[in-house]
């Protein structure tokens, strides 16, 4: 029987509660592993906002539509007002430069969409200079890439680049027609 004299202190209770939560999280992860919902860019944004290393952020969630909780890898948590946090995310996103990997992912996605429109497929992408060959029904159509001027294309290995603001427009400059969906 617990009496006032031998009751655990608040620190001991908090420690026991933290251990219990840690144990429950570990067991839940073993039973149903979750995919990481945060990208490296998300972690960079959160790290910039709350001035921590991006790798220290485990996840975030919104509680009651009011509070954004940031969970750290070491088990700690910090609460933030949702509106304040959302405003800061928008500000940081606008100023945070894209990493080369993020740029390549964005460009590859745009290239795939444009190739689909024209019924093309592309070869292996050289991510260092972001360029590739595009083909239509097994025939070489040209080179497509992206550099400091934007999207470019050329029908041969050597020659002048045709520059356009989008992958779709630059592929069209090669004389390829969009496929008709029936």
Cβ-Cβ contacts under 8 Å for 87 (sequence gap 6 or more):
none
pLDDT tens by residue, 6-30: 555 667 777 767 676 666 666 655 5
> What token pair was written down for 97?
């430069």
- The pTM assigned to this predicted structure is 0.56
Cβ-Cβ contacts under 8 Å for 168 (sequence gap 6 or more):
113, 114, 117, 118
What share of the chain in percent tops pLDDT 70? Answer: 82
- Three-point CA angle 77, 79, 85, nearest 5°: 125
> What token pair was written down for 49?
């906002």
pLDDT value of residue 182: 45
Residue of 96 and 153 predicted with greater confidence: 153
The C-alpha atoms of residue 120 and residue 130 are separated, in whole angstroms, by 17
pLDDT value of residue 30: 55
The C-alpha atoms of residue 176 and residue 170 are separated, in whole angstroms, by 10
Is the pLDDT score of 3 beyond 60?
Answer: no
Alpha helical stretches, state H, the chain? 10-31, 40-50, 82-95, 100-118, 167-172
Report the candidate in 169, 166, 122 with the shortest Cα–Cα distance to residue 146. Answer: 166
């Amino acid at each position: 029987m617990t009496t006032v004299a031998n009751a655990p202190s608040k620190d001991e209770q908090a420690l026991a509660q933290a251990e219990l939560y840690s144990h429950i999280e570990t067991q839940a992860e073993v039973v149903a592993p979750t995919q990481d919902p945060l990208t490296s860019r998300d972690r960079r944004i959160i790290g910039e906002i709350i001035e921590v290393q991006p790798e220290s952020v485990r996840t975030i969630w919104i509680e009651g539509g009011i509070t954004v909780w940031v969970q750290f890898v070491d088990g700690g948590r910090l609460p933030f007002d949702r509106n304040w946090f959302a405003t800061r995310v928008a500000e940081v996103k606008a100023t945070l430069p894209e990493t080369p990997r993020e740029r390549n992912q964005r460009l590859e996605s745009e290239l795939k969409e444009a190739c689909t429109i024209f019924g093309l497929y592309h070869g292996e992408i050289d991510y260092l200079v972001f360029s590739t060959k595009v083909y239509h029904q097994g025939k070489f159509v040209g080179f497509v890439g992206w550099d400091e001027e934007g999207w470019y294309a050329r029908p041969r290995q050597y020659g002048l680049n045709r520059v356009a603001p989008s992958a779709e427009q630059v592929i069209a400059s090669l004389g390829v027609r969009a496929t008709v969906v029936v």
